[in-house]
Chains A and B, each alone.
Chain A
Amino acid sequence: MKNRINFIAMILILFTAGFARAQQFPQDQVKRGEEVFTASCTGFCHGDKGTEGGGAPRLAGRGLSAQYIEKVVNYGIPGTPMPAWALKLPQNDTNAVVAYVESLNGLIRTANAARLPALSQEAANGRELFFDSIYDLRRCSNCHEVGGSGVPVTSIVHVPADVSALRNLSTPQVQTATENGKTFPAVMFAQVKEETRVYDLTTGLPVLRVFAPSAIKLTNGNSWQHSAAIKAYSDDELKTILMFLRALQEPQTGGTPDRDAKGSAVEH
């Protein structure tokens, strides 16, 4: 059983190993940003590549806008350990860090990101299904954030090859949380000295819960299944959703302003 979990974990690592490249910042700036980030931000505070675990919240896959990142990098967050870097690093380096952290959004495009790609009709239909309230408790956006909408329980960094792979996606990041002797499926969101934040996946609406570190114990493995979470979708619908996600992977060359799931124009 343990071997099986390790095997699944390996698949997921392969699945999520890379981060989508930044679309609006030059690659050399992103690369420099990673160097600065690794030297100045990881270890004591943030985790490697913007993951949680270093004592500060996860940054990857959260849909943070460049504008927001820039503000926090330069001015810090008063009342928290996040310092103001504007006076500590050259501006070129803080700009590079902003570019790098923004790149950690994976497929996510924030409201402040460069213009979204023009979508084919099918991809646009996929976008509608991704957020579709008809599916309400079983829709993709309950756990994934795209275009600044949705809940960032986990980030989508690569698109599964087909519907079967999507349904059978392994999810080793879903752990078993134990609180007062009761267990529930959970995804770690952030862990700092005084609190642990996890997404509680007990119902179709994930709950971001805050615990004292001693009040919750997380162990690997859980029976939670991605296939159950998306079972409301037909195969054809999932195909369409995959087309939407692939469209977000395409190199962007501009395009017309996109429209959000509710049909109103997105402001860029």
Chain B
Amino acid sequence: MIDHRVRLALSLLFVAIPGLLQAQQPNTGATPARRQSGGAPQTQQGATGADWPSHGGTQLSWRYSALNQISNANVKKMVPVWTFQTGDYSDGLETTPIAIDGVVYISTAYSNVFALDGATGKLIWQYKYQASPQTTGGGLKNNRGVAVAAGKVFVGGRDGNLVALDQKTGREVWKVNSGGNISAAPIVVKNKVIVGGRASRGHVSAYNTETGRLEWRFYAVPGAGEKGNETWEGDSWKYGGGYPWTTGSYDPELNLVYWGTGDASPPFNGTHRQGIDLYGNCVLALDADTGALRWYYQEIPHDTWDFDATWEMVLMDREVRGKMRKLLVQASKSGFTFILDRETGEVLGTYPYVDNINWVKSITQTGELVGRHDVLEGETPWNVCPSNLGGKSWNEIAYSPNTGLIYIPALELCNHILLRQARGTDHGGGTWVFKEPPGHDSAYSHLDALDPVTGKKQWSYPYKFELFASILATAGDLVLTGDPEGYFFALDARTGKKLWSFQTGAPNRGSPVTYMASGRQYFATPSGWTVVGDMTRGVWPETETWRVASTLTVFGLPEESK
């Protein structure tokens, strides 16, 4: 009871005086309900405070901060405070900075790690990642961030290593090779650091934070004799796939980690892997202590479009048809948003968040796909919408309990999928050519504010190119993100009106965050273009002029006006 009252008081203080308290971990205890005008009760348990302690803000992955020193009323005064060039210009900067106690931690495409003074940008330490002589497991060079906990900074690499660094010095504490490729930021749950990656058989793995020893591993492709293996044709399970290549979420009350898995291998060409190919294209709920599968939901059985279910999972408690439910909301690569009960995996609703979807005629509220149009061998390539970049890319959505809305960077882009037949030891696969949506002269994007449960659109911010940076929402009723032309900008969270922007000098393809240092609120955004962005040159020739860079730009109010 005392704990309850203390937490209630702290939570009220937290909301009242943002920045004075640090939200190190999501508080899922007795947080106060806030009733917005006309909205359902909203809690703040997924909000960050002075720190940005985890990849998704908190492990509920809201990408929402309770800070409001900078708000829709004064954001127009915001100015750049410092920038940091990482010097790793191999493939942009896709990181989500972690901010703890005024120190900002970032990782670069080659998994170099920097600890920076959050107020000044001064380098505290740096770690140069030493990749194995010959890295395997994927050709893309990117890394999307670190996890910081237990006095350590954890970073993965292209060669499959997961490295623990001393948080104060940056010196190696341990290193273990996961056997795949890690581009995602890990999360830390209790004494385990959990990460997914691209191994031949995709897996989510938990390692002891102190020793690096493997604690548990869940395979996205079950081995011979294991449950789910029977869903693959013959030995096709050995082709692997199901890569859980992004970062999951965690509900401490249920003690479940949620991770999304990718499509089965080979991608696109399902000719020789008939069956539903479990656990490809699934949302997994795993016991955080043991890795045991509690439930799964397969969004797309037997995928032939490369619609991974790997996008971020936002955990929120909302009313659905008159009853409060614990939800998992995922704006999936397929162009549909899935609303799941995160206790059971029950599908509570679906809705499209892009204008152009033709790989299926419709989807029911319980997730059944109606009128699939699979990509098949012998068929003339057709214009599949959305493209295999997804209805949105991996860049993450935000959820604001203040407005009760989610903010999705939708991408209206399609592609012709050109299958490669199996031959010899090549199991087949495919490639693609990006195209405009049918009936449109150009591909396009829009950042939308939606009711997360119904999909009802509140406002839409149109954009002519791809929106490839993550979204950030704050209690100052701001929504912030960046565009590939280099602008980092702020919108009013309730109206979508653009309030402020700044040219960062290079395209934005990372995840902005906000934090406090020395009593001042800051926004930090990565910039630098990527190979994946360059792939869209066919539909947006302007891509050619966008620049590789690797810069963190940090903003705040002028000292006199904060």
Contact = CB atoms under 8 A, between A and B. Distances in A.
Interface stretch (A80-88, A132-140, A167-175, A221-229): A132-140
Nearest to B224: A134
Interface string B331-349: 0000000000000000000
Given A133-B199, A200-B213, A210-B171, A148 B132 contact: yes
A29 to B, nearest CB: 22
B214 A203 contact: yes
Interface stretch (A12-20, A158-166, A260-268): A260-268
A145 B160 CA distance: 14
B214 A205 contact: yes
Given A133-B200, A134-B201, A210 B174 contact: yes
Interface in A127-153: 133-134, 136-137, 139, 142, 145, 147-149, 151
Interface stretch (B28-36, B175-183, B441-449): B175-183
A263 B422 CA distance: 13
Interface stretch (B87-95, B133-141, B271-279, B379-387): B133-141
A58 to B, nearest CB: 15
By secondary structure, the B interface counts as: loop
A166 B328 CA distance: 50
Nearest to B210: A209
Interface in B185-240: 199-201, 203, 211-214, 217, 219, 223, 238, 240
B214 A148 contact: no
Nearest to B200: A133
Interface in A39-77: 63-65, 68
A114 interface: no
B179 A136 contact: yes
Contact of B134 (A111, A134, A203): A111
Interface string B149-180: 00000000000000000000001111111111
B201 A208 contact: no
Contacts of A219: none
Given A134-B238, A142-B179, A209 B212 contact: yes
B561 interface: no
A91 to B, nearest CB: 24
B176 A266 contact: no
A64 B240 contact: no
B37 interface: no
A196 interface: no
Contacts of A262: 136-137, 200
Contact of B179 (A65, A205, A263): A205
A209 B211 contact: yes
Contacts of B174: 200, 207-210
A263 B429 CA distance: 13
B168 to A, nearest CB: 14
B201 A207 contact: no
A33 interface: no
A110 interface: yes
The 4 closest A-B CB pairs, nearest first, are: A148-B134, A133-B200, A207-B212, A148-B133
25 contacts: A63-B132, A111-B133, A112-B133, A133-B180, A133-B201, A133-B240, A137-B217, A139-B179, A147-B134, A149-B136, A204-B214, A205-B176, A205-B213, A205-B214, A207-B175, A208-B174, A208-B175, A208-B212, A209-B173, A209-B212, A210-B173, A261-B136, A262-B136, A263-B426, A266-B134
Given A137-B214, A151-B177, 16 more contacts: A64-B133, A112-B133, A133-B179, A133-B200, A133-B240, A136-B219, A137-B217, A148-B133, A149-B136, A200-B174, A202-B213, A205-B179, A206-B176, A208-B174, A210-B174, A262-B137
